[in-house]
Structure 1
Amino acid sequence: MFKNYLKIAWRNILKNKGYSIINIGGLAIGLACFLLIAIFISNELSYDNYHEKKDSVYRVIHHSNADSPDDAWVWGNAPVGPALKSDFPEIIEKAQFSGRSDILLEYNNRKFQEGDCFYADTSVFNVFSWPLINGDPKTALEAPYSIVLTETTAKKYFGNENPVGKTIEGIGGRAADGTYTVTGVMKDVPQNSHFSFDVLMSMSSFYQTRPEIFDSWGYVDFYTYVLVSNNFDQTAFESKIPDFLKKHIEPEVAEQYYYNFSLESMNKIYLYSKADRQPGETGSLSNIYIFAIIGLFILIIASINFMNLATARSMERAKEVGIRKVIGAERKGLIYQFLGESLILVLFASLLGLLLAFLGLPWLSSLTGKAFAMASFITAPILLLYFGTTLLTGFFAGSYPAFILSGFKPVRVLKGAFRTSAQGANLRKGLVILQFSISIALIASTVVVYYQLGFMLNKDMGFAKDQQLILDFNWDGEVLNNVEAIKGEFLALADVSSVSLSRTVPSSHFPAAGTDIETYEGNMENFSPYIYEVDNNFIQHYKIDVVAGRAFSPDFPTDSISSLIINEAAVKEFGYNDPNQIIGKKFQQWGREGSIVGVVKDFNYISLHSEVAPLTLRQVPYGRYLSLRISSNNYKDAITAIEKKWNVLAPHRPFIYSFLDEAFNKQYISDIRFRKLFTIFSCLAIFIACLGLFGLATYSAMLRTKEIGIRKVLGANVSTIVALLSKDFIKLVGIAILIAIPFSWYAMRQWLNEYAYKIDVEWWVFLLAGAIALSIAIATVGFHAFKSANNNPIKSLRTE
């Protein structure tokens, strides 16, 4: 019997090639999209799963605001790690990293500035599953000036040699200066890791340069992880934290500076952590939900197409059912036949979908910036989900013709008394409404996503970010010793109109500073605003507006020792309503005392995901970056001239530059990827919906062929017939628009809540989405209507 089912299914495919292509092709595309989205989501959910002890690893999260428990940092002090291991037997091991460092490394005249470098405890290889290819993991990071390289980094300097025992120079990185001995080579950190790096240096190397910070509970420069015992109870442990802090932090310090901490499981870091200062990228749980919904929508739309066309076409086989029943076929056998044929068609579609998904993997990798290997493509859970879904689709698609057609009375069918049932027609209409409701919601959502990201990329950030060339010299001592002369040399270039020195620039790393400010009542209160250390030209160079007081100026030599400038957010944080009220108030910050001389307008020095936070600016003679404002639009020549000058002024350092607007927009790289994926998958969903509408329109026009012929003979023109055939579908799309609007409005409002600065969801978005869907429907249905209306009526009426 199976052979018979297969033969009949194959004959039906060949007999109706157009419908078969639409049916199998549409479902295959839908299944391929579903599978690609499943692979993407599976990858997002796999972060840090490669660590053997992941269930027992926790990260210390630091809190510095008693009024805002959610105001948390991953980056914190050093002494908390050793104290935890010493005081709690359930803490088996602690592993600490310094903050990320950029270090210039040199070997045999090959120099590279490495951007992902950390100082680390020797215990990191016990806590994390980062296997060493060469070297002993127990001692690799034990001695001062030891260094472990990833496999890719090692090959860059040493080729295929074993570098263990060789030395490499660290240059110009302040604490990183020195000769390092390579003590290990480890495999590259997997891409599905919340923490990635290229170089690890022994923490004892860092201790050589700044031993005092390892005992300071107020100094922030470390990431702390702990390995706990199997019976660890996080709730019970955190109840002991208050007593632990009382033991280690002096009462007078605790009264002045609030500090607390909590633990965060490694299993929740990538998708659930809300703490600031992450050591690597984090994912978005809401985006995973969105993609899961899109994948489900695409599958639903593809399945609806398949079911609609299957049920519509099955009506043509009513006489076949009647004949089979007359010659003795049982209903059970007919049910098996129709279900079997449906499952065979779905099997063809699933195999084609697998091929399309396989071909689409490189495309998915390029869009997401993540490598998807075949291993992720053929995992058992994903394939089980895939084929389970296809079998369900096939069952539901074949269930209507199987159970309805098999129940027809053969006498009525063979007499020609059978007509398409109202029940079947209403089912198809309902499914068309559902799929176009989904499509319209996706169109509206795509428009909102597109404009939100455009708003973020084009919003006035409150400072001049265009035509800013940033030179990164990484605190190089020789450069700093001659920085004023270097600035003057650059200013002498025709393409450079302004130069500024600073420790940070917008979008790059910046610290926070414990700061005492004189309040309105005259008391000194402690805050922890962010800090920009800049030269006296920074505010003018970046065209930041001053709303009260003044900017730094060479006319005030004491600015470098006793002046502070803050932003409007800091004014509010310090309890003042008018920026002018805080001018002249006293401050104490990082060993400096003086008065506040100016207030700048809030500018978005971090991404628009967050509101502008309190910021202080103070003048210093050092920094890491030179900002050059380019006055020419000929960037190529300008960069060439600047590079030539740099090679003369600092021949010992590579010329490392970036444009500020490009670097700043890198903060939105995950948003850009999200927009691309969302838009492409939404367009594919709409395309699949149109395929189904195309097939149904063809079938509808075919059923009314004789009616169209009669109307033409009686004098109906083409436009009348087109309107007749199109109006039913247009009504369905109109209903879909009404259903989709509230759903998509609510969903996009929820999604936009993730952004501190966002667009309003305007009414025209839904009008546009509805107009696009309506235009697509009219074009799709109208094509067949026009074609049918232009057919010669003699052909359709010849048999009457």
Structure 2
Amino acid sequence: MSHQMDARPPDWPLRLLRFFVKEEYLEEIEGDMEEIFLTNVEQLSLAKARRIYTWDMLKLLRPTLIKHFKTIPTFNQFAMYKNYFKIAWRNLVKKKAYSFINIFGLGLGIACCILIFMFVQDELSYDNYHTKRERIFRVIHGESVPGKPTEAGSGPFWVWGNAPIGPALKSDFPEIEKVVQFSGRSDILLTYGEKVYQEDGVFFMDSAAFDVFSWKLLKGNPKTALAAPYNIVLTESTAKKYFGDEDPIGKVLKGSESPGRSNRGDYTVTGIVADIPSNSHFRFNALLSLSTFRNSLPEIFGEWGYVDFYTYFLVGEQFDEAAFKKKIPDFLSRHKAWPDSRYFIEIEPLKDVYLRTKAERQPGETGSLPNIYVFSVIGLFILVIAMINFMNLSTARSMERGKEVGIRKSVGAYRSSLVSQFLGESVMIVLLSGLIAAILVMIALPNMSALTGKELNIERFITWQTISLFVALMLVVGLAAGSYPALVLSGFNPIMIMKGMVRSSAGGINLRRALVVFQFTLSIALIAGTIIVYFQMNHVLDKDLGFDKEQMLVLDYNYDEEVNKKSEVLKDILENNPSVLSVGFSRSVPGSYYPHAGTELETPKGDMEMMGQPIFQVGMDFVSHFNLKLIAGRNYSREHPTDSSQAIIINEAAARQYGYSNPAEAVGKKFAQWGRSGVVIGVVKDFNFASLHRNIEPLTMPLVPYACRYMSLKVKTDNIQETIKAVGEVWKEIAPHRPFLYSFLDDDFNKQYQSDVMFKRLFTTFSGLAIFIACLGLLGLATYTAEQRTKEIGIRKVLGADVRNIVGLLSKDFILLVIISIFIATPLSWYAMHRWLEGFAYRMEISPWIFVLAGFIALSVAVFTISYQAIKSAVMNPVKSLRSE
């Protein structure tokens, strides 16, 4: 008996049957199936009976037994969707202005978002081409700040460091598989036949480079290409420059010599590497074998205090970064690196090198993670503003289709079919906008590449991931924008609709108002940000740097000994030209490369203390030539022959570094630097020899005329081209073996702000587009409001209202919304831009007038946009608007 009670058929086949089968057959079928099931239980088994029962139930789902569902239409599905498409298309054509604003505005917003996405993706893709990138790290070198403990993170960092660190790491840490070291950039004069070029972007590179980095070697053996002394590997474009279509392998390039490195000699081409991708933090034109450098100066490869190398390494698959870092202090202690110093090291993964590094002295360019965030937010803002326009116009225009909805519901349309119709129309419009966006992206891409200085190629970004993301974005935008009108319209009572008793609900009106406030809040924040970015960049580019950089012509001769020997002759000849005001020589000029030096200087206590600082090795007239202000002591003088070996000039920051609050007190104090010793003879006023992103550092300027690289000429503004031509002729006569390479100092110095200028251009461009898109939406809403109140306007005009009254009537609501937006946007934009300005050591103050101006601009644009439609409605003949009454 208990067995019979437990013998029950499964539930879900019975529920399925009850759902699909006509009710007149259910009772008979259920009874028969239960009898068959019980019989099978007795004759077979419970499990087998349940399987037979399930299968028999599924076989009963035949067309003659299935009931008719009201939700499943009996008419042709294709015809229904064809009808939906026709209605959607007619609505678009009927209201051309709204259709244009909707489709073009959203398309422009999507296009801006795609362009910003391409830029951001390019920035995030740096060094991704290295197949072993997850296992590549590099050493960064640090020095703790005096008075603070010697520990990681307590002081400044440099990527540029010493050579012994590499072999020491390899010997002490078995988890390191390969170490690659290369020298700082070594510009070199290369000659092949009649072709002579001062080649920049040249490095002395370790032979293990091709085992670590994924540089594609087109010709040559990666194991031996950089093994022997005087081997050279060229990039494909560099090889073509020298050899054309000839096979470069085995050819010989003649190299000149740079100071401290024996570059002079014949270099055999042993490899050709494909041009380095643009999204690489480290790029080069040629690689010299590191063994060449080692042969000429073997002693520096064992000196922990000699700085001229970058150290990268490859680790094993099971590398534990945290455990490795804990071993570093013992490692440094064991090797007694820089005894009694504050020296320490950290490691940095390759994936963080471009955007997240905290180290200076990079081997290549770096990006800005905050800028990536800013542009991502702007892209999101633009897309949101465009979506708000679309939603506002969709919800506003949806009320005009009330009668259509009423008729459909009266003839039996279900709410679900109406929802799907309106959502489908919304998605269709968004897909049209997506097509417009794709066309706009293709048109704008060359300009975007020019703005960013990047090779933004559309083919690089067309992947199945990006296509899937784009389609998903279109669907999300379409469904989000169409959801409100679809749900509201489909819920109307058909009787009330047909009687004309349906109006925009308070909820719909408030939603549109809230969306207008939100989009103008974003727009005003962008306007304020644009003003701040503009004035900050002007502040940077126009700031008095403390030296003359205008009309300063700079010639780069790369430390050429013959030129340095003839420097006085060159100076005399060129200064005889009335267009040349003065000539100076130096190893560095403001904004260019400069080394660091360890300098011992006598403190107020009488001790000799070692400190590190930048160093400008200069010629005799550097101070006066650049118009530096001498605030204590004297300048270098030809009347003091010992100045070249026993004197030094420092800046105010260096005097403070050694404890002198009064610069005059540092004059006469003893110093020792790089084998030279003597006394401080002068102190110059601090000047910005580096980027304004940084505070002025301590600086020493020893007189070393034989180590100079640059000749700078202060020239008159008249006939610049004639002056350059005359200087070039003198150069060919005095130094015919070197190319005539010149530039202007202000241009070179401002190259430090290339990324800031690019940021300014992008920020301004996309902020302007965001404001334009917001105004498109405002124009659409104003036009709709005016149309809805056409009869009211006609009646008011008949009763005596003038144009001013009508314009005020139509404008006041929108202007109030913009004013509310101003109060919301001001604190938000102040906070965001305050954070951005923190990246500059010298920054403008954010004044209240900026937000007043931003608000005034937004209000003016809104008033102008609304007034166009308001005036158009106000001057309309009232007879036309009242004709139907």
What TM-score, normalized to structure 1?
Answer: 0.98
Query: 2:143–2:155: 8 Å Cα contact kept in structure 1?
Result: no
Query: 2:207–2:224: 8 Å Cα contact kept in structure 1?
Result: yes
Counterpart Cα distance in 1 of 2:360 and 2:508: 56
Cα distance, 1:413 vs structure 2? 1.1
Counterpart Cα distance in 2 of 1:448 and 1:274: 26
**1:242 is matched with which residue?**
329
**1:45 is matched with which residue?**
124
The equivalences for 1:489-508 within 5 A come to: 489-508=573-592
* The one of 184, 194, 202 aligned to 2:289: 202
**1:514 is matched with which residue?**
598
**1:683 is matched with which residue?**
768
**1:22 is matched with which residue?**
101
Residues 509-562 of structure 1: CA deviation (Å, up to 9, x unaligned):
100001111111111111111111001210000001111112212222221111
Identity over aligned pairs, percent: 55
Counterpart Cα distance in 1 of 2:441 and 2:548: 44
1:84 aligns with 2:169: yes
**1:569 is matched with which residue?**
653
1:402 aligns with 2:481: no
Unaligned runs of 5+ residues in structure 1 are none
Structure with the greater alpha carbon radius of gyration:
2
Query: 1:491–1:497: 8 Å Cα contact kept in structure 2?
Result: yes
Query: 1:39–1:382: 8 Å Cα contact kept in structure 2?
Result: no
- SS of 1:529's partner is strand
**1:673 is matched with which residue?**
758
Cα distance, 1:345 vs structure 2? 0.8
**2:744 is matched with which residue?**
659
Query: 1:55–1:265: 8 Å Cα contact kept in structure 2?
Result: yes
Cα distance, 1:563 vs structure 2? 1.0
**1:772 is matched with which residue?**
857
Query: 2:143–2:342: 8 Å Cα contact kept in structure 1?
Result: yes
The equivalences for 1:429-508 within 5 A come to: 429-508=513-592
Query: 2:103–2:433: 8 Å Cα contact kept in structure 1?
Result: yes
* The one of 767, 776, 792 aligned to 1:707: 792
**1:186 is matched with which residue?**
273
Query: 1:38–1:382: 8 Å Cα contact kept in structure 2?
Result: no
1:417 maps to amino acid: M
The equivalences for 1:125-136 within 5 A come to: 125-136=210-221
Counterpart Cα distance in 2 of 1:237 and 1:402: 59
**1:698 is matched with which residue?**
783
Deviating more after overlay: 750-759 vs 511-520: 511-520
* The one of 218, 224, 230 aligned to 1:139: 224
2:293 maps to amino acid: F
Counterpart Cα distance in 2 of 1:359 and 1:55: 37
Counterpart Cα distance in 2 of 1:49 and 1:29: 31
* The one of 102, 105, 110 aligned to 1:31: 110
Counterpart Cα distance in 2 of 1:454 and 1:247: 51
- Root-mean-square deviation (CA, aligned residues, Å) is 1.1
Deviating more after overlay: 616-625 vs 308-317: 616-625
**1:227 is matched with which residue?**
314
2:820 maps to amino acid: I
**1:349 is matched with which residue?**
433
Cα distance, 1:70 vs structure 2? 4.0
- SS of 2:232's partner is strand
Query: 1:39–1:376: 8 Å Cα contact kept in structure 2?
Result: no
1:53 maps to amino acid: K
Query: 1:217–1:249: 8 Å Cα contact kept in structure 2?
Result: no
**2:722 is matched with which residue?**
637
Counterpart Cα distance in 1 of 2:271 and 2:547: 45
Cα distance, 1:479 vs structure 2? 1.0
- SS of 1:275's partner is coil
Counterpart Cα distance in 2 of 1:56 and 1:505: 38
Cα distance, 1:246 vs structure 2? 2.4
**1:57 is matched with which residue?**
136
Counterpart Cα distance in 1 of 2:256 and 2:131: 36
Query: 1:54–1:267: 8 Å Cα contact kept in structure 2?
Result: yes
1:94 aligns with 2:179: yes
Cα distance, 1:31 vs structure 2? 0.3
Residues 73-106 of structure 1: CA deviation (Å, up to 9, x unaligned):
0000011111111221111111011000111111
**1:428 is matched with which residue?**
512
Counterpart Cα distance in 1 of 2:528 and 2:458: 34
Counterpart Cα distance in 1 of 2:130 and 2:587: 36
1:302 aligns with 2:386: yes
**2:37 is matched with which residue?**
none
Cα distance, 1:633 vs structure 2? 2.4
Cα distance, 1:69 vs structure 2? 2.5
The equivalences for 1:351-430 within 5 A come to: 351-430=435-514
2:140 maps to amino acid: I
Counterpart Cα distance in 1 of 2:183 and 2:510: 65
Counterpart Cα distance in 2 of 1:58 and 1:580: 47
- SS of 2:631's partner is strand
Query: 1:463–1:543: 8 Å Cα contact kept in structure 2?
Result: yes
Counterpart Cα distance in 2 of 1:646 and 1:413: 89
- SS of 1:494's partner is coil
Counterpart Cα distance in 2 of 1:452 and 1:746: 16
Counterpart Cα distance in 2 of 1:147 and 1:380: 40
Query: 1:632–1:638: 8 Å Cα contact kept in structure 2?
Result: no
Query: 1:560–1:619: 8 Å Cα contact kept in structure 2?
Result: yes
Counterpart Cα distance in 2 of 1:423 and 1:480: 81
Counterpart Cα distance in 1 of 2:628 and 2:469: 54
Cα distance, 1:172 vs structure 2? 4.3
**2:809 is matched with which residue?**
724
The equivalences for 1:753-792 within 5 A come to: 753-792=838-877
Cα distance, 1:207 vs structure 2? 1.7
1:151 aligns with 2:230: no
Counterpart Cα distance in 1 of 2:809 and 2:842: 48
Query: 2:185–2:363: 8 Å Cα contact kept in structure 1?
Result: yes
Cα distance, 1:379 vs structure 2? 2.3
Cα distance, 1:374 vs structure 2? 2.5
- SS of 1:514's partner is strand
Query: 2:620–2:705: 8 Å Cα contact kept in structure 1?
Result: no
**1:339 is matched with which residue?**
423
Counterpart Cα distance in 2 of 1:48 and 1:189: 10
1:278 aligns with 2:357: no
Shift in CA distance, 344/632, structure 1 to aligned 2, threshold 3 Å: closer
**2:681 is matched with which residue?**
597
**1:259 is matched with which residue?**
343
Residues 126-162 of structure 1: CA deviation (Å, up to 9, x unaligned):
1100011110011000111100000000000111111
1:121 maps to amino acid: D
- Return structure 1 stretches of 4+ with deviation > 4 angstroms: none
1:641 maps to amino acid: A
Unaligned runs of 5+ residues in structure 2 are 1-79
Counterpart Cα distance in 2 of 1:491 and 1:646: 13
Counterpart Cα distance in 1 of 2:464 and 2:828: 35
Query: 2:601–2:669: 8 Å Cα contact kept in structure 1?
Result: yes
Higher relative contact order (CA closer than 8 Å, sequence separation 6+): 1
**2:6 is matched with which residue?**
none
Counterpart Cα distance in 2 of 1:246 and 1:402: 72
Cα distance, 1:385 vs structure 2? 2.7
1:321 maps to amino acid: V
1:736 aligns with 2:821: yes
- SS of 1:263's partner is strand
2:354 maps to amino acid: Y
1:674 maps to amino acid: F
- SS of 1:48's partner is coil
